[in-house]
């Protein structure tokens, strides 16, 4: 690990941090979902949030130490995104956590070690802050770490007392700041000066719990919660002026700029701001949708919709007229998939949601913007010409009624009205808007006594009006039930007919809440049951595709295929037994798989996530290394042995403490009540689980591992199939083998040898092709010798070669430099559409003039929207804008002549 890294990518910074703490006995855990268990917050807003129950003493941790890279979203400062250097809606927080283990002294020592010895920060560039009353932390920094007193600042509660929200775990903290200008001295240090200082690491000493009255009580154990901002670290280590120009975000900005036909670096501040907003928001959006948040008008769904609409709006501001969000999303997905594979797995869902929301909002924009422009013009006209104008000349605002009309009639968000009005120098009467909103609620209540039900918002208020859902699905595949509530896209209805959906958007769904249900709701990694809801005589039939549990209500998502469904109807709810059998087989197989992993690989292995669907299963587990092929085979054989032995399931509901005392396995981070459901296959597996399972392992039939791979640092993934899904898997494999055999005209058993032979032929052909490419590049470059100019005793060749790949271009540059001796060669090419390659080769004499090929070519490549670098004598860079290559080469020639002449 380098003590003075020249450049670290965002991915490298993340991995270095996690590996540092893994080496210090911290368990690497995957990022939790952006949808938190904590009911006090809408989204995961901090790295510590998944551990809040542990800090409160409500849950016993499986590990004493943990480290994570947690994805987070905050929108409280959304108006500052793109306008400041470091405000974001989406960000990653690197953290190390101690649950009643080490405390201040060790946390501070490791914080200093990773900052100075691993990431290579000079102590002269660091300043620390402590809570004003925390003499203990002050003394550790001063006496044990050796930080000068002048560079330890005491700050008040607003700055250095950390809270996760109005209530919850809290405590004093100590922050480490990077000083960009230590030459300014230690006198009058102002940590609020963000042109000089950036806080990058926050060490929280979790000692208290704050209740709703603001009272502090000591926690059962002293804990450590730290947060190192990945975006901020990337800014510092990559030496860019703001977080947006790091490799974590800037490629997204470049994609948006290319679509708009603008260059970020040469744009005005307004355009840069819009590009930054797009770059930031699209990251938030892809992760929210990947975590199965859907756009709506309430709760976190509204946050998602608002972010998408801001992306579209800022796209319009920089000249993008059509749909573009899926294109920038592709770049964002490519940047994130190595750390968060679910964004690639959910790519289709992400793009479908974006396309749908963008299309709908573009229509809204066209209508709403036109009306808003007319309203703004009316305000100014009234102020200029009418002495009796209702608008205040000192504080001109769009009226609350006008803003509400835009919202209610045209679906134009209040925030967007405020944003556009603000650009024109006007405010919005928000109080008047809220008054009109309340009037509408009153009118709706008087006109129609229905319950205001929303799918993705809180359903607690329904408890007074409807009965919570009773789940019968462990023992009953069918149940007679009452329709308690009906919704379409989150809006409450008294009745919904099949023909209403036929003329509506094909993606429109009906959501049904029943008082009883046999349908298992998506939970614990297991997908929901499928089936149907129908009445006597089948005059009403609803096809149920998904079920989600919100609070104590099971929400059935489906389509009405026939008839009209009404609130209060008595219906029959029936699951699809074939789908249930598949899910049961795969879920029980995950339990057997975990038991086999513990037995064969390591008893300390623990679950890090899972997926149980009808056609396959996926099991993520914490393991520092890849499994060997022999281990994978042994695991598969062990699971199949247990299946063949026909172990009967024993299902019990026990007190949590008793279940754990018996040895039941609990998933780390999972929330459990005082009583838990235990699935026990005696002498094989015992786990706490609310899912559906087979009654005997023999019902699974057979188990087959498809793949084993790493998905994150310290986390492995096994994908497998079992039960009835095995036949689907074998049929597919058989079809593929038959197709290959027909194509290659060989028997199935001869396929490996045939493929090996073809691979060998292909490698030989590729080598021949590469040789020809190099020879062609050399032939083209040799003709450039006659164009060499002599400047200050040095020969210079700057030229563009057509259709030469990067490696051949590099070979050509080295050959030309060898032939001219003392001098500089800069060659550029466009090997394929949308790609630019530039190579610089400098002789030692040119290096002595202060020119280094790496820095030189990197700066030149920026003209083409790219970058790069390398050694002082030879370096290569790339870009995307081929039209700018002549300009880049012209700039290179000019700079070489200036420097060498």
- Compute the distance between CA of residue 32 and CA of residue 52 in angstroms, rounded to an integer: 12
Q: Are residues 90 and 304 in contact, defined by beta-carbon separation less than 8 angstroms? A: no
Long-range contacts from 402-406, C-beta under 8 angstroms, 24+ separation: 402/375, 403/428, 403/429, 403/430, 403/432, 403/433, 404/432, 404/433, 404/436, 404/437, 404/440, 405/371, 406/368, 406/371, 406/372, 406/375
- What pLDDT is recorded for position 290? 92
Confidence of residue 165 (pLDDT cuts 50, 70, 90): low
C-alpha closest to that of 670 among 249, 114, 69, 62: 62
Q: In what order do the strands lie in the sheet with 823-832?
A: 789-791, 794-800, 823-832, 835-842, 874-879, 867-870
C-alpha closest to that of 426 among 450, 467, 453, 393: 393
Q: Which of 275-284, 422-431, 510-519, 669-678 has the lowest mean pLDDT?
A: 669-678
Confidence of residue 671 (pLDDT cuts 50, 70, 90): low
Give the up-direction half-sphere exposure of residue 455: CA atoms within 13 A in the CB hemisphere: 25
pLDDT digits (tens, 9 = 90+) for 334-393: 999 999 999 998 898 899 889 988 988 887 777 777 788 878 877 776 666 554 455 556
Helix (H) or strand (E) holding 404: helix 400-410
- Compute the distance between CA of residue 457 and CA of residue 296 in angstroms, rounded to an integer: 9
State the helix-helix crossing angle for 347-385 and 269-290, rounded to 10 degrees: 140
- Compute the distance between CA of residue 641 and CA of residue 263 in angstroms, rounded to an integer: 62
The CA-based angle 507-512-514, given to 5 degrees, is: 160
2 pLDDT above the threshold of 50: no
Which tops the pLDDT comparison, 138 or 3? 138
pLDDT digits (tens, 9 = 90+) for 680-716: 999 999 999 999 999 999 999 999 999 999 876 567 8
Dump the DSSP string for 220-263: EEEEEEEEEEHHHHHHHHHT-SSGGGSTTTHHHHHHHHHHHT--
Percent of the chain topping pLDDT 90: 49
pLDDT digits (tens, 9 = 90+) for 293-331: 888 777 788 889 889 988 998 998 898 888 999 999 999
Q: Which range is most confident: 178-182, 602-606, 658-662, 759-763?
A: 178-182
Q: Are residues 196 and 184 in contact, defined by beta-carbon separation less than 8 angstroms? A: yes
- What pLDDT is recorded for position 740? 87
- What pLDDT is recorded for position 394? 65
Confidence of residue 503 (pLDDT cuts 50, 70, 90): very low
Burial, 468: exposed, middle or buried (Cβ in 10 Å; 0-12, 13-18, 19+)? middle
Instruction: Quote the pTM value.
Output: 0.49
- What pLDDT is recorded for position 75? 85
Q: What is the mean pLDDT of residues 141-166?
A: 89
C-alpha closest to that of 210 among 168, 159, 152, 157: 168
pLDDT digits (tens, 9 = 90+) for 220-233: 778 999 999 999 99
Which tops the pLDDT comparison, 744 or 220? 744
pLDDT digits (tens, 9 = 90+) for 463-475: 456 778 899 999 9
Neighbours of 291 (CB within 10 A): 21
C-alpha closest to that of 708 among 698, 699, 718: 718
- What pLDDT is recorded for position 99? 92
17 pLDDT above the threshold of 90: yes
Which tops the pLDDT comparison, 533 or 854? 533
- Compute the distance between CA of residue 348 and CA of residue 290 in angstroms, rounded to an integer: 10
- What pLDDT is recorded for position 109? 96
State the chain's mean pLDDT as an integer. Answer: 86
SS3 content of the chain, % helix, strand, coil (to 5): 45, 25, 30
- What pLDDT is recorded for position 442? 63
Confidence of residue 279 (pLDDT cuts 50, 70, 90): very high
* Distances from the Cα of 497 to the Cα of 89, 506, 541, angstroms: 40, 14, 10
446 pLDDT above the threshold of 50: no
- Compute the distance between CA of residue 257 and CA of residue 671 in angstroms, rounded to an integer: 44
Burial, 299: exposed, middle or buried (Cβ in 10 Å; 0-12, 13-18, 19+)? middle
- What pLDDT is recorded for position 452? 32
Q: What is the mean pLDDT of residues 402-410?
A: 77
Q: Are residues 899 and 798 in contact, defined by beta-carbon separation less than 8 angstroms? A: no
> Which is it for the CA torsion 446, 450, 456, 459, positive or negative?
positive
- Label residue 7 left, alpha or beta by phi (over 0 means left) and psi (-120 to 50 means alpha): beta
Q: Are residues 296 and 455 in contact, defined by beta-carbon separation less than 8 angstroms? A: yes
Taking the chain, what is the end-to-end CA distance rounded to the nearest angstrom? 41
Q: What is the mean pLDDT of residues 93-109?
A: 95
Q: Give strand pairing partners of 845.
A: none
DSSP state of 571: E
Q: Which of 204-218, 359-373, 725-739 has the lowest mean pLDDT?
A: 359-373
Dump strand ranges (E) for 376-475: 397-398, 427-428, 470-471
- What pLDDT is recorded for position 375? 81
According to DSSP H, which parts of 513-601 are helical?
A: 577-600
Encoding tokens for residue 795? 């020969």
């Amino acid at each position: 690990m380098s003590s003075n890294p020249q450049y670290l990518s965002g991915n490298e910074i993340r991995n270095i941090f996690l590996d540092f703490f893994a080496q210090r006995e911290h368990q690497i855990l995957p990022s939790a979902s952006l949808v938190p268990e904590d009911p006090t917050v809408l989204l995961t807003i901090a790295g510590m949030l998944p551990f809040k129950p542990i800090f409160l003493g409500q849950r016993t941790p499986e590990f004493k130490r943990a480290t994570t890279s947690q994805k987070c979203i905050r929108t409280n400062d959304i108006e500052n995104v793109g306008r400041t250097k470091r405000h974001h809606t989406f960000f990653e927080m690197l953290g190390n956590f101690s649950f009643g283990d080490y405390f201040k002294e060790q946390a501070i020592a490791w914080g200093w070690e990773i900052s100075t010895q691993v990431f290579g920060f000079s102590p002269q560039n660091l300043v620390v802050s402590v809570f004003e009353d925390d003499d203990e932390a002050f003394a550790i920094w001063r006496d044990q770490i050796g930080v000068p007193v002048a560079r330890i600042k005491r700050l008040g509660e607003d700055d250095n007392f950390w809270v996760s929200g109005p209530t919850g775990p809290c405590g004093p903290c100590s922050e480490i700041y990077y000083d960009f200008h230590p030459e300014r001295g230690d006198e009058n240090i102002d940590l609020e000066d963000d042109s000089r200082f950036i806080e990058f690491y926050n060490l929280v000493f979790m000692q208290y719990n704050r209740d709703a009255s603001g009272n502090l009580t000591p926690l059962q154990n002293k804990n450590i919660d730290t947060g190192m901002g990945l975006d901020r670290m990337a800014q510092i280590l990559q030496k860019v002026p703001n977080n947006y120009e790091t490799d974590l975000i800037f490629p997204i900005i470049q994609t948006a700029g290319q679509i708009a036909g603008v260059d970020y670096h040469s744009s005005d501040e307004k355009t840069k701001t819009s590009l930054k907003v797009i770059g930031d928001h699209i990251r938030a959006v892809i992760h929210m949708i990947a975590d199965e948040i859907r756009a709506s008008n309430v709760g976190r769904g509204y946050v998602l919709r608002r972010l998408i609409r801001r992306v579209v709006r800022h796209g319009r501001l920089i000249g993008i007229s059509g749909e573009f969000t899926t294109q920038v999303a592709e770049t964002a997905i490519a940047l994130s998939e190595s750390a968060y594979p679910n964004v690639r797995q959910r790519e289709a869902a992400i793009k479908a949601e974006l396309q749908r929301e963008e299309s709908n909002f573009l229509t809204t924009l066209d209508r709403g913007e036109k009306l808003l422009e007319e309203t703004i013009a009316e305000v100014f006209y009234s102020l200029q010409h009418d002495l009796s104008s209702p608008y205040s000349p000192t504080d001109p605002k769009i009226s609350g009624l006008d803003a509400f009309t835009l919202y209610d009639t045209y679906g134009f968000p209040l925030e967007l009205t405020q944003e556009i009005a603000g650009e024109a120098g006007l405010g919005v009467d928000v109080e008047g808007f809220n008054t009109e909103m309340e009037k509408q609620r009153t009118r709706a209540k008087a006109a129609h006594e229905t319950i205001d039900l929303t799918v993705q918002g809180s359903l607690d208020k329904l408890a007074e009006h409807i009965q919570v859902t009773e789940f019968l699905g462990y023992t009953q595949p069918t149940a007679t039930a009452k329709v308690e509530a009906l919704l379409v896209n989150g809006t409450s209805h008294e009745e919904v007919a099949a023909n209403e959906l036929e003329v509506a958007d094909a993606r429109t769904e009906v959501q049904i809440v029943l008082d009883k249900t046999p349908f298992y709701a998506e939970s614990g990694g297991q997908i929901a049951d499928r089936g149907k809801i129908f009445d006597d005589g089948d005059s009403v039939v609803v096809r149920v595709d998904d079920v989600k549990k919100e609070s104590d209500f099971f929400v059935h998502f489906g389509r009405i295929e026939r008839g009209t469904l009404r609130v209060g109807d008595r219906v029959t709810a029936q699951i699809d037994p074939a789908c249930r059998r598949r899910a049961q087989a795969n879920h029980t197989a995950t339990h057997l798989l975990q038991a086999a992993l513990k037995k064969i690989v390591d008893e300390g292995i623990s679950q890090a996530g899972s997926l149980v669907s009808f056609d396959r299963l996926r099991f993520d587990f914490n393991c520092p290394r890849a499994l060997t092929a022999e281990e994978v085979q042994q695991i598969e054989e062990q699971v199949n042995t247990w299946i063949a032995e026909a172990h009967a399931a024993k299902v019990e509901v026990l007190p949590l403490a008793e279940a754990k005392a018996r040895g039941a396995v609990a998933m780390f981070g999972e929330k459990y009540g005082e009583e838990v459901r235990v699935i026990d296959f005696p002498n094989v597996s015992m786990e706490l689980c609310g899912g559906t399972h087979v009654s005997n392992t023999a019902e699974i039939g057979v188990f087959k591992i498809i793949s084993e791979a790493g998905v994150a640092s310290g986390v492995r993934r096994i994908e497998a199939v079992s039960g009835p899904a095995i036949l689907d898997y074998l049929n597919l494999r058989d079809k593929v083998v038959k197709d290959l055999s027909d194509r290659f005209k060989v028997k199935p058993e001869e396929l490996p040898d045939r493929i090996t032979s073809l691979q060998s032929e292909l490698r030989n052909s590729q080598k021949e092709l590469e040789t020809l490419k190099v020879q062609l590049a050399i032939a083209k470059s040799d003709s450039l010798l006659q164009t060499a100019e002599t400047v200050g005793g040095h020969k210079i060749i700057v030229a563009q070669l057509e259709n030469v790949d990067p490696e051949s271009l590099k070979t050509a540059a080295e050959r030309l430099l060898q032939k001219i001796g003392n001098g500089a060669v800069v060659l550029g090419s466009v090997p394929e559409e949308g790609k630019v390659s530039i190579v610089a080769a400098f002789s030692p004499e040119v290096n002595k003039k202060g020119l280094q090929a790496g820095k030189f070519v990197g700066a030149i490549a920026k003209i083409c929207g790219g970058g790069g670098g390398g050694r002082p004598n030879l370096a290569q860079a790339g870009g995307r804008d081929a039209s700018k290559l002549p300009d880049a080469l012209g700039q290179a020639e000019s700079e070489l002549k200036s420097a060498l002449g």
